[in-house]
C-alpha cells in the first residue's frame, strides 16, 4: 500500500470515529453541563495519553513545538468540544452535524496558511462545491436550528480547522497519537480547574446513555479518532485527506437516525452523492 493510500485509509477511519461525536455529545449534554462535559472528556483523554506516552517512552516535545501544541489544544481540546456542546443546547444533533461538512475547507485554508501546502486551483473548486452542498443541505434539509446554535457551530468549525492543520503538521515530526496526547497534557491543568468549578452536585440522575456519551467523546472522539486522523493528514496531505470530512455529516446522520431516531431525508442521499464526487475530485488535485 502506498503512503498516499495509507493516509487516506487512516483518515477515513478517523472520520468514521469522529462521526459519532456530535450524536454522543447531544446525548451527554442532556445530563452534564457543557463546561463540565468539555473538561471531563479532556481530563479522561489526557490520562490515557499520559499512560501511552509513558508506556512507549516518548521524549518531550522540543520548545519550538509548544506553541503549535497550544494551538492544537485550543482548537481540538477546548474550542470545538465546548462550542459544539453549547450549540447543542440550541439545535438538534442532525442540524449540527451538517456544519462539520465545512471542516475540510477551513482545514485546507489553515493548511495553506500554517502548513505551507499549495493545492491546485481545481482543488478549491471541488472544496467549495462540497462545502456549499453541505451548507445548502443544512439550510434546506435538516431543520432544527437557530441563529445562536448556528453561529456557535460556525465558530467551532473554524477553530477546529486550525487545530487539525497544526496537529497534522506536527504529526510529521512527533506522530499522530503523540500530538493529541501532548496537547491534552498541556491543557490538563486548565481543564482540571474548570472541572472542579463545574463539578455536578450529584451524578445519581445521570442516565446510562449520558455515561456512554461521556465515555465515547472522551476515549474515541478525543483520543482514538485523532490517532488515525492525524496519521492520515500527515501521510496523505492536510488539504487532500481533509476533504474526507465532507463525508462526516452523512455518517453522523446515519448514527443519529439509528441511535437518536432522527429521520433521514432524501436530500441526505442526493447530497451524499455530490459530496463523494467532490471528495474524489479534491483527492485528484490536492
DSSP 58: P
The pLDDT tens digits for 106-119 are 888 888 887 777 88
* Count of Cβ atoms closer than 10 Å to residue 201 Cβ: 5
* Residue 71 Cα distances to 3, 4, 79, 186, 273, angstroms: 27, 26, 10, 10, 34
pLDDT confidence of residue 143: 58
Output the CA–CA distances (angstroms, integers) from residue 59 to 48, 50, 68, in the order listed.
17, 12, 17
Query: Hey, where are the domains in the chain?
Result: 3-285
Residue 115's alpha-carbon distances to 5, 119, 172, in angstroms, are 20, 12, 11
pLDDT at 284 over 80: no
Q: What is the pLDDT of residue 144?
A: 58
pLDDT digits (tens, 9 = 90+) for 122-166: 888 888 888 888 777 766 665 556 778 888 998 999 999 999 999
Angstrom distance (rounded) from CA 131 to CA 135: 6
Q: Give residue-wise pLDDT tens across range 93-109.
A: 877 877 787 788 888 88
* Lookup: cell for 89: 443546547
pLDDT tens digits, one per residue of 14-56: 999 999 999 999 999 999 999 999 999 999 999 999 999 999 9
The mean pLDDT of the chain is 88
3-class DSSP assignment, residue 89: coil
Residues in Cβ contact with 16 at an 8 Å cutoff, skipping those fewer than 6 apart: 251
Instruction: Find the largest Cα–Cα distance for the chain.
Output: 55
Task: List alpha helices for the chain, DSSP H.
Answer: 3-18, 21-28, 34-55, 66-72, 80-87, 93-99, 103-115, 121-137, 147-174, 176-197, 208-215, 225-236, 238-242, 248-259, 266-285
Distance CA 107, CA 245 (A): 10
pTM attached to this predicted model: 0.85
Q: In Å, how far are 32, 36, 209 from 201, measured between CA atoms?
A: 11, 12, 19
* Contacts of 105 by beta carbon, 8 Å cutoff, 6+ apart: 127, 128, 130, 131, 161
Triad 68, 74, 76: Cα angle to 5°: 95
Amino acid at each position: 500500500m502506498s503512503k498516499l493510500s495509507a493516509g487516506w485509509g487512516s483518515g477515513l477511519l478517523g472520520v468514521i470515529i469522529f462521526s459519532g461525536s456530535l450524536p454522543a455529545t447531544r446525548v451527554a449534554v442532556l445530563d452534564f453541563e457543557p463546561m463540565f462535559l468539555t473538561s471531563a472528556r479532556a481530563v479522561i483523554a489526557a490520562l490515557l495519553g499520559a499512560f501511552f506516552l509513558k508506556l512507549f517512552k516518548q521524549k518531550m516535545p522540543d520548545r519550538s513545538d509548544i506553541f503549535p501544541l497550544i494551538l492544537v489544544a485550543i482548537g481540538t481540546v477546548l474550542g470545538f468540544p465546548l462550542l459544539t456542546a453549547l450549540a447543542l443546547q440550541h439545535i438538534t444533533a442532525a442540524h449540527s452535524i451538517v456544519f462539520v461538512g465545512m471542516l475540510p475547507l477551513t482545514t485546507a485554508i489553515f493548511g495553506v496558511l500554517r502548513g505551507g501546502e499549495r493545492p491546485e486551483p481545481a482543488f478549491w473548486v471541488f472544496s467549495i462545491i462540497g462545502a456549499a452542498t453541505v451548507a445548502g443541505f443544512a439550510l434546506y434539509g435538516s431543520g432544527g436550528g437557530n441563529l445562536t446554535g448556528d453561529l456557535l457551530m460556525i465558530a467551532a468549525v473554524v477553530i477546529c480547522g486550525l487545530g487539525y492543520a497544526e496537529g497534522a503538521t506536527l504529526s510529521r515530526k512527533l506522530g499522530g497519537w503523540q500530538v493529541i496526547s501532548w496537547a491534552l497534557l498541556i491543557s490538563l491543568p486548565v481543564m482540571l480547574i474548570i472541572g472542579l468549578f463545574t463539578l455536578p452536585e450529584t451524578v445519581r440522575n445521570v442516565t446510562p446513555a449520558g455515561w456512554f456519551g461521556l465515555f465515547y467523546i472522551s476515549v474515541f472522539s478525543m483520543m482514538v479518532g485523532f490517532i488515525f486522523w492525524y496519521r492520515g493528514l500527515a501521510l496523505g496531505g492536510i488539504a487532500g485527506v481533509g476533504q474526507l470530512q465532507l463525508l462526516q455529516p452523512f455518517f453522523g446522520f446515519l448514527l443519529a437516525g439509528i441511535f437518536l431516531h432522527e429521520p433521514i431525508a432524501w436530500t441526505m442521499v442526493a447530497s451524499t452523492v455530490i459530496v463523494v464526487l467532490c471528495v474524489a475530485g479534491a483527492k485528484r488535485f490536492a
